[in-house]
Structure 1
Amino acid sequence: MSNTIILLCVAIVILLSVLLVYIYRDVKRGEKSDEKTIDPQTKQMQLQAYERLTLLVDRIALPNLISRIAISGISAKDMQLLLVRNIREEFEYNISQQIYVTHDAWNAVKNLKEQNMLVINQFANALPPNATGLDLNKLLLEFLMNNKKGALHEIVSEVLAYEAKTLL
């Protein structure tokens, strides 16, 4: 009799386990279908946010930033301040876009901003006090050509494009 009770208990546990697995799968399917049925207006806002962040990434990419802010006759320190200020302003202008994109996408953009500012500050601080803005720009461009970290903006752009395509 005890063997019968044990077998009955095991059968009930297995039956409950199978039932729970099916219920869990149905709940997960429901969550996935909820994710796919995004309101068209919300979807449009998300796509616009990805577009704006892609533009931000392009604007704060060091090669583009340097070519856009090419001012001759200023010191390396002034160029440093100008480049960092420009990155901050661009970022702050687009900060509200974080509510429309994934956490990973926003972190990628934020990390790009931080890395670019760090690179600018490190190279500017390594230059002698009488260095020019042109010296800083040349040093930064050489770094970008010789270091894979210099292509971070391309990776971030690819991440944003991929996530935007998943919305389509």
Structure 2
Amino acid sequence: MDNSVLITVIVAFFIASMAGYLIYLQRRLVIYEKQQNKATSPLPLQAYERLLLLTDRIALPNLINRNTATAISSTELQLMYNKIIREEFDFNVTQQMYISPASWKAVKNLKEKNLQIINQIGQQLPAEATGLDLQKAIMQYLMANPTAAFHELVSEALSYEAKQLL
């Protein structure tokens, strides 16, 4: 075999070996990046999960169904609803760091709108109104104004963003 052919074969072998090694390194890098993404992605997903639960828990129809109004006044129930919504929200406030600003704003707006509805309806009731009267008035308001209960819209937005992470 001629020296020039031998050198060509050695150079070709060297180039092929280096190309194979570079492909190997690239694949290892892709695997490493996937592992890093898996290591960090549960936190945002958990945040969306918690905020979906928050949205469900402070939805006015669900709030009414979970908290019966027997033997309390409208004012007491109004204060109880305000406290529940604020505590639920405050418990989940740190989740904002894992979601988009628009989604966090939607969650905040849901909280504020629900508090506004409860307080406005509560103020319109007579002083002797019962908690049951407040519940009925809120449900009547929601039935007459379907856009007022926009917890489903907020839930859909959160779900959509969470699915983008998968």
Q: TM-score, normalised by structure 2?
A: 0.77
Structure 2 gap segments, 5+ residues each: 1-32
Q: 1:111-157, CA deviations, whole angstroms, 9 ceiling, x for partnerless residues?
A: 00000000000000000101010000000011111212333000000
Matches within 5 A, 1:89-128: 89-128=87-126
SS at match of 1:39: helix
Letter in 1 for 2:61: P
In our comparison, the structure showing a higher alpha carbon Rg is 2
Letter in 2 for 1:75: S
SS at match of 1:129: coil
Q: 1:166 aligns to what?
A: 164
Q: Offset at 1:39?
A: 2.5
Q: 1:55 aligns to what?
A: 53
1:64 aligns with 2:62: yes
Give the Cα–Cα distance (whole angstroms) in 2 for the partners of residues 135 and 151 of structure 1: 19
Q: TM-score, normalised by structure 1?
A: 0.76
CA RMSD for the aligned pairs? 1.5
Count of paired positions: 133
SS at match of 2:155: helix
Give the Cα–Cα distance (whole angstroms) in 2 for the partners of residues 149 and 85 of structure 1: 24
Q: Could you list the runs of 4 or more consecutive aligned residues of structure 1 that deviate by over 4 angstroms after TM superposition?
A: none
Structure 1 gap segments, 5+ residues each: 1-35
Give the Cα–Cα distance (whole angstroms) in 1 for the partners of residues 64 and 149 of structure 2: 15
**Structure 2 residue aligned with 1:152, among 150, 153, 164?**
150
Q: 1:72-120, CA deviations, whole angstroms, 9 ceiling, x for partnerless residues?
A: 0111000100001000000001111001111011100000000000000
